[in-house]
Structure formats: structure tokens, C-alpha cells
Amino acid sequence: MTDDRLIVALDVPNALDALKLAETIGPAVSFYKIGLGMLTGGGLALAGELKAEHGKRIFLDMKLFDIGATVEAAVRGLAQFDLDFLTVHGDPHVVRAAREGAGGKDLKILAVTILTSLDRADLDDAMIKPGEMTDLVIERAGRAFEAGAHGVIASPHEAAAIRALPEAEGRLIVTPGVRPLGADAGDQKRIASPAQAIADGADHIVVGRPVWQSPDPRGAAQAIQAEIARAGKNNSRVGQN
């Protein structure tokens, strides 16, 4: 069985390209992330096809944020699509509404703490309380867990501190910003290797460009899987979650 700790972000322009990419990668990857940018390009149809025809797990990265009633309705609608993970912003009222909307469906609600593209000046502009970014991220993760989030999205550099929270017991940590050995960092500033992210408590790692921009996406994915396998012999969670 393919290790589902690797999630590949399908950040290509449209659903057709994404499907071709998934077919090229084949059994080397069993879990895909579909983002907001793909929504108008057939993202939900793509999710359905990857799940039904190819048996892949699906992470829909929507980062929903609105009043509770609207989030609940949106998640109730999305929950009809047989998705595995869905992101919302980590504000407790949003997380609670998302859990309501998911109802009894086996859809994991993952909370975004603070977007990694923001710095302290952006938080000041948004009138977010003073404090170190990392402390705020950890506090927001704790509150999201208390509100019922199945997991959080976190940079690999925050994974260990979040994993240490008592509220994180049994919850998922999913980390983007991961770069396999020797890969280009791109615009990711706070990166870690797959092995490091997993050692720090990540249940899943999200990797995009090092796979889909590679001339050999299948080989790139296989190399990451090999890195995960070497790193995670003792804490493999294949088939769980």
C-alpha cells in the first residue's frame, strides 16, 4: 500500500492537467491536495474522479472563513463529495460550524492557524494582538483543537511545539513548506525535509512544486516516499487517519 503521509499539491492550471499528472505519477502517490485556484477549473469534478476512478484520498484546501451559518452550509455541501480533508480558518466559531456541517461524514476538518505569508506587520494591520508569531500560532492551534478541529496546518518549524500540546493528542498535523533533499526552496522560506517534518510530529507532509514541476514527477514522488520510509520506519502511520 502506498504511504499516504505524502500529499502532493496539484497546483497546475486546470483539472485536465491535474488528472494527467496523477496518471503519470501512478501508484507512487495516494493522496492529493486540490486548492482554491482549481475550484473554477473543475476542482470538485477532479476530486470525484481521482477518488472514484483512481482510489486516491483527497484534501480540498479551501481555507473557508465566514459567519458560522455560512461555513456550516458550505461544509455540508462539500461533505457530499467524498473528500478526506478540508481546511477552514482556525477561528473557533469557524471550526465549530465546519464540524456541524460535516455531520457524521468521515471528513477531517483541518484548521489554518496563521497564514505563513503574513508577518507581524500584517498582523498589526489586521489588529491581531501583540506577541511572537510562533506563540500566536501555537495558541490558535490549541483553540482550534478545543473547538473540535481534527487537525491543523502548520509549518514544519511549529510542528514539534504543536505536537507537544495536550490538546494535540490524537489530532493531525499537516505540514506544507517541505522540501526533499536537494530540491529548490522556491518561495518557501521556512522549509524542512520530509524526514525532519515527520520526526517533529507531522502526520502528513504537503509537497507541490518539487513534484509537479519536475521533468519526472513519478521519480520525484518516489524519491520523497523513499525519504519518508527511511525516516519513519518506527512511526509509520500508513493507512491510518
Instruction: At 75, list the grid cell.
Output: 461544509
Residue 142 or residue 177: which is nearer to ligand C5P going by CB? 177
Closest approach, Cβ 46 to ligand C5P, in A, equals 14
214 within 8 A of 191, measured Cβ to Cβ: no
Residue 30 or residue 155: which is nearer to ligand C5P going by CB? 155
If one asks whether residue 153 binds ligand C5P (CB under 6 A), the answer comes out as yes
Q: Which of residues 187-206 bind ligand C5P (CB under 6 A)?
A: 188, 206
51 catalytic residue (yes or no): no
8 within 8 A of 25, measured Cβ to Cβ: yes
90 within 8 A of 152, measured Cβ to Cβ: yes
Residue nearest to ligand C5P (CB): 208
E strand map for 22-163: 31-35, 57-64, 85-89, 108-112, 151-153
If one asks whether residue 177 binds ligand C5P (CB under 6 A), the answer comes out as yes
End-to-end CA distance of the chain: 15
Per-residue binding string, ligand C5P, 25-64, x by CB under 6 A, is ----------x-----------------------------
If one asks whether residue 237 binds ligand C5P (CB under 6 A), the answer comes out as no
- 209, 214, 239, 210: which is closest to 227 by C-alpha? 210
CA distance linking residue 68 with residue 94, whole number of Å: 6
Other Cβ atoms closer than 10 A to 150: 21
Identified catalytic residue from 20, 56, 63, 233: 63
Q: Which of residues 97-116 bind ligand C5P (CB under 6 A)?
A: 116
Closest approach, Cβ 135 to ligand C5P, in A, equals 17
Q: Which residues are catalytic?
A: 63
- Residues lying near ligand C5P in the complex (CB under 6 A): 9, 11, 35, 116, 153, 176-177, 186, 188, 206-209
